Structure 1
Amino acid sequence: MKVLITILASPASENLYDKVQGMMLSLAQIQGLNGHLDLYRHHMQQLMKWASQSHDQWTNFSIERAQYEVLVSESGPVIGEHLDQLMPVLKTCLQTSKDPQMRLKVFTMLSKRLLKPSETVNSKGQFHVHSETLIKDVLVPNLKWQAGRTAAAIRTIAVSCLWVLFQSEVLSPQEILQIQDILMPTVLTTLEEDSKMSRLMSCRIIRALLEACEHHLNPDQLNKIYLEVLKRLDDASDEVRITAAKTFSVWFKCIDDRYDRTTYKAHLEFLYRGLLVHLDDPDSNLQTTVLDVLKEASIVYPSLLVQEIEAVKHKHRTPEYCDQLLQHIRLNKESGQTETMLPLSLDSQ
């Protein structure tokens, strides 16, 4: 079996894959096992120990790294039964001091497994036990900026791993809450990445963090977040811009009694103005997204928003969206949905 794994780990193995799988099946039959997964399950502990003996010295060209990658990739759900052996290897190999090309390959292996966690690393539902360590000790350090194209590629794949973790629902909201203090500041910096994919996934991660931490963020934390996300409304990618705009619909829901409307009026004013600029955006999809966001945002401080709308309405190419927004605020006022912390009437403006 070690020989067969070594063959799969070699660069010239592409045409031999089916033959190796056939031999694996023969090995399983000889041992009275039911298929290749049972074969891996029967020998996995020994094989992982064998392949990882020198993992702290791996480079991009280490055959042992390639053997270990075959083990993790080919064993399917069996790897989820051996997380105690897998995670220390990942933690060591993905330290930022290690060979960048090697880290890139290990990250690629990990990201593929995370795409279908229930069929791989989370087959036993235990991956969440290790997820905090993975995020704090592996992903966050690799998200920090370093010079070079390989370092940029590593940051992109680290963001991808993080997004897949959120998307797969391996983490519970409570587990996300425990790591948000470490995670949020780092992810905010990746909003400036050259890679469109990194910026897009970073916006999605921030939105997921806001959803999980809805009533646990203080005003200073919220203000730092909106300042960075607002910049992405001017992104070169329309997809990033729309995703950033949608993030604000969750951001406004995070405002609670601690966000005093008098103390933080200047922040709300700045944010309303920034969003209103894009209510007149050339991209109609972004316009409608921002309109929906501002309708939700109007509950926070409607009188201030009315004031800002009136100040810019005449500058817009079409007043249609401004009128729709004013009508929405007016209807909310009539139904009694006005701000509770700073009760200014619309008429006072």
Structure 2
Amino acid sequence: MDGSQDLFRAHVSPLLEWLAASHRDWTGHSVELLQLDVVLSHSGPALGEALPQLVPILRSCLQPARDPAMRLKLFSTLTGVLLGAPETVDSQGQLHGYLDTLLQDIFVPNLQWHAGRTAAAIRTAAVSCLWALVSSGALSDGQIQDMQETLMPQILTTLEEDSQMTRLISCRIINLFLKTSNGVIDPDKLIKIYPELLKRLDDVSDDVRLAATSALVTWLQRVQSEASKCCYQSSVRHLYRELLVYLDDPEHAVQDAVLEALKAGSVLFPDLLVKETEAVLHKHRSPTYCEQLLQHLQALPPAQ
């Protein structure tokens, strides 16, 4: 053989079949789990040919009733594999055929809230793994749309997690879901998203605050693309008012990001935003950002 990839290609499927014979008894300390870890980490493109053997093992071992230490280890390894999905599990372009299993049997059960630190750590691992999958480039926009239909409610819930990493990644996932959801999200569901992102503007982490602001920009762009955007006017007015509060934030990076968000959303109802901005101008410690926003609004072309 020319190298290790030829070796894995010749043997990875039977090796996984051999491991599958015992996977129902594995724990975080099982030798077989370490063997699976090596197979996942080193098989490269050969994994894309072994999905019929691999996916049933993952589905079984990542059930909520299984050993938590094993699930954490598997999620960690799987995250690394999925980050390079086009060169690993999707090397043959067949991963889409297993998306329903990944979604319903792995992500949905492991994102559900359960009390305790271990359960929280597993939710963090599951969110990280989901982000690796949706950001890998292996999925089409349509496939990501199908995922967000199922997972958006749960990811909105993980915005409230104690783990800063979970909240940050959840913001990024919501942002990506919104970017790929043209014409898919029901208006009532779309309206429910922005208040959850707004809450994160009070986060203790500036990284989370900036990620939430970025997702709000995408939310405003989604509203702009809606044919019936007038039905969002009261929601957008509320968002304008809340964002204007953070335009006076002590953190300059947050002020800059919020200014860009208001500029991006200003095309929706510019007259409304002028009115709201002028109403709070005198309340801000410094009028600079409000004045920049008003200058931007004055430069907008007149509404058609």
Q: Which one-letter code corresponds to 1:40 in the other structure?
A: F
Shift of 1:322: 0.9
Do the aligned residues in 2 keep the contact of 1:180 with 1:209 (CA within 8 Å)? Answer: yes
Q: Deviations over 1:86-109 (max 9, x none)?
A: 111111111112111111111112
Shift of 1:219: 2.2
Shift of 1:284: 0.9
Q: Which one-letter code corresponds to 1:88 in the other structure?
A: P
Measure the CA separation in 2 of the matches of 1:57 and 1:183: 30
Structure 1: runs of 5+ lacking an equivalent: 1-32, 341-349
- Which of 71, 82, 88 is matched with 1:114 structurally? 82
Asked if residue 81 in structure 1 is aligned to residue 61 in structure 2, the reply is: no
The aligned counterpart of 2:243 is 275
The aligned counterpart of 1:30 is none
- Which of 147, 159, 171 is matched with 2:127 structurally? 159
Q: Which has the higher contact order (CA 8 A, sep 6+)?
A: 2
Shift of 1:253: 1.2
Moved more, 141-150 or 86-95: 141-150
- Which of 115, 118, 139 is matched with 1:147 structurally? 115
Shift of 1:260: 2.6
Shift of 1:171: 1.0
- Counting only pairs closer than 5 Å after superposition, residues 266-345 of structure 1 correspond to structure 2 as 266-332=234-300, 335-336=301-302, 338=303
Measure the CA separation in 2 of the matches of 1:245 and 1:46: 48
The aligned counterpart of 1:208 is 176
Q: Which one-letter code corresponds to 1:119 in the other structure?
A: E
Residue aligned with 2:124, SS: helix
Asked if residue 190 in structure 1 is aligned to residue 170 in structure 2, the reply is: no
Identity over the aligned pairs, expressed in percent? 50
- Counting only pairs closer than 5 Å after superposition, residues 37-52 of structure 1 correspond to structure 2 as 37-52=5-20
Q: Which one-letter code corresponds to 1:63 in the other structure?
A: V
Residue aligned with 2:91, SS: coil
Q: Deviations over 1:294-320 (max 9, x none)?
A: 111111112221221122111101111
Q: Which one-letter code corresponds to 1:314 in the other structure?
A: H
Q: Which one-letter code corresponds to 1:303 in the other structure?
A: D
Do the aligned residues in 2 keep the contact of 1:73 with 1:113 (CA within 8 Å)? Answer: yes
Shift of 1:282: 0.8
> TM-score by structure 2 length?
0.94
Shift of 1:258: 2.7
- Which of 46, 62, 70 is matched with 1:94 structurally? 62
Q: Which one-letter code corresponds to 1:183 in the other structure?
A: L
Shift of 1:56: 2.2
Shift of 1:215: 2.6
Structure 2: runs of 5+ lacking an equivalent: none
The aligned counterpart of 1:259 is 229
The aligned counterpart of 1:125 is 93
* Alignment length (residue pairs): 302
Do the aligned residues in 2 keep the contact of 1:235 with 1:241 (CA within 8 Å)? Answer: yes
Shift of 1:268: 2.0
> TM-score by structure 1 length?
0.82
